Amino acid sequence: MDENAKEMAMLLPARTIALVLLITPENGLQEIIQAALPNTVVVRQLADIGEAEPLLKDPDLSHLAVIILLHNPNVRRIVRNYHRLYRSGLGVGIPKIAILSNPEDRRFILGAGLDDYLLLPLLPLEMNARLEVYLHCSQNLFERMAGVVEQLQTGVKPTNLWGENLQMMSLSFNAPSGWVILAKETEIGSKLTLAGGYNLPPLLSASPEAAAEELSVFSDLFQQENFSLFEQRVELQLNWVNRRSANGLTHHLIIPMSSHKRLLGALVLAYPHLPVLSNFAKRSLLAVGRHLGALLYFQQIYEEAQLYATQNAFLVLIARTINARLELNAILSLTLEHAIPLLNANGGDIWLLSQDGQWLDLVSSLASPFARRALTRRRKQQGIIGQVIERNQALRVDNLFKHPYFDSESDSFDTGGAYALLAAPLNHQGKVIGVLNVLRQHKPFTQNDASLLQGITGLVAPAIANAYLMQELREHAE
């Protein structure tokens, strides 16, 4: 560590919670600023931005909230110092405020990227109020979401901590209410769910139906072009769904949580009026959103990896179990016994082509709670299963009754209820030898389910073909 930085760190009182670095070539300002701030905030004057760099690198000062004040009679030197600090990367997350003599320089300063400005002569009450906002924001913003961050980092899904942490963050930004929306990709698009919140209005807390109606507004908002680009920014949105149930909280501050061009969710702070935030506060909130978005992204990757590992383990088990058996009926039964729970299905069937290639025979079925009608043979091209044979590709149907190829004779069950079907061809040596299908009530299958079923059929088709051949040889020998 630089000797001057080390000496300054040693001179800071033990009770110091914040440090104000005043970069100015002139004397007199330090005493005015220090007199306006609490004793726990220490003001240090430096002649050049270069003197601040060792301090900003010092790990012994990393626990302090820091503000940088830039002053110079030549306003262009203020901007030059700001750009130097920006290029060094040391000022990230630290509010940078200019002290100006001429009010006309305000636009130039803010356009250059600085967060705020103070005008000379400095008024103690105004300066205290302005700097206190930045100190309050920069000191513990990430710490206010620390519980959620810790759980996400360890692979645990936050539950109550969303609300507890949001309460602390909402209070920091004078928001009466706040909540978290998480996005989950489904087959029909992104579905939003309410993960937690603080002081929720009746619109969200009264019933799941009311919450779903309100979340649909945010869903529409996220579908807009300006959100599809996943720009890292703060959006203000008027709540127009139901003002009476919103407790007057008609304005929303939306902080997207995104990573790798995917919107994982949003933090929402609700206000009765349009909130006013500084550039620094916006950047700080967006930094929190990006950080949480990255953690949510990697948690999803971790969950998907665990799911794939489990599925692969089941596939290996299926392969070993089936390859250990040469008896056809045993292979068929074991295939369904393993495939149905793996795909969270309610039942399943295996159909094999007849020797003349014109019929499909039902050779194994585990269809409870479905009760199939007395149909054990169907024409090869008949119904939805016939389409799997004709096209030689997997078929996923959310509701069989609404499918154009539904056949009431071959595709119905005695239960009569609506159900989803997932079917994949059994291919061996370039030829289709049959179809494996699974059934599910109430919940459609996903594309991942289809990929998994194709993996299963790829494993079992050779075993079925070999067992069928062995069975024919035994019958011929007898």
For the sheet with 431-441, list strands across it.
377-379, 359-366, 347-353, 431-441, 419-428, 395-397
Sequence spans of domains, the chain:
3-140, 143-301, 325-477
Q: Distances in Å between the alpha carbon of 46 and those of 8, 25, 71?
A: 11, 8, 11
pLDDT at 145: 62
Q: How far apart are CA 286 and CA 457, in angstroms?
A: 47
Domain 143-301: top CATH class: alpha beta
pLDDT at 69: 94
**Of the candidates 449, 351, 446, 441, the residue with the CA atom closest to the CA atom of residue 400:** 441
pLDDT at 170: 78
> Scanning the structure block, which residue is given the tokens 């009530």?
441
Q: How far apart are CA 171 and CA 114, in angstroms?
A: 25
pLDDT at 12: 64
What is the torsional sign of CA 79, 83, 85, 90?
positive
Per-residue pLDDT of the chain (478 residues; tens, 9 = 90+): 455 555 555 566 666 778 899 999 988 899 999 998 888 888 999 988 888 888 888 777 766 778 899 999 999 999 999 999 888 877 777 889 999 999 999 989 988 888 889 999 998 888 888 787 777 655 455 555 656 666 665 655 666 667 677 777 777 778 888 888 887 765 445 677 888 888 887 767 766 666 666 676 666 666 655 553 333 333 434 333 445 556 677 777 888 887 777 778 888 888 887 776 666 677 777 777 887 888 788 777 776 666 666 667 666 766 676 666 667 888 888 888 888 888 888 889 999 999 888 999 988 888 755 555 557 888 888 888 989 999 999 999 988 888 888 887 777 765 556 788 999 999 988 899 999 999 888 788 888 888 889 888 888 888 888 887 877 777 776 6
pLDDT at 101: 92
Look at phi and psi of residue 189 and say left if phi exceeds 0, alpha if psi is from -120 to 50, else beta: left
Are domains 143-301 and 325-477 of this chain identical in fold?
A: yes
Q: Tell which CATH architecture fits domain 3-140.
A: 3-Layer(aba) Sandwich (3.40)
Which DSSP symbol is given to 407? Answer: -
pLDDT at 213: 67
pLDDT at 191: 73
What CATH topology corresponds to 325-477? Beta-Lactamase (3.30.450)
Q: Residue 26 CB: number of other CB atoms within 10 A?
A: 13
pLDDT at 465: 85
Q: What is the pTM of this model?
A: 0.53
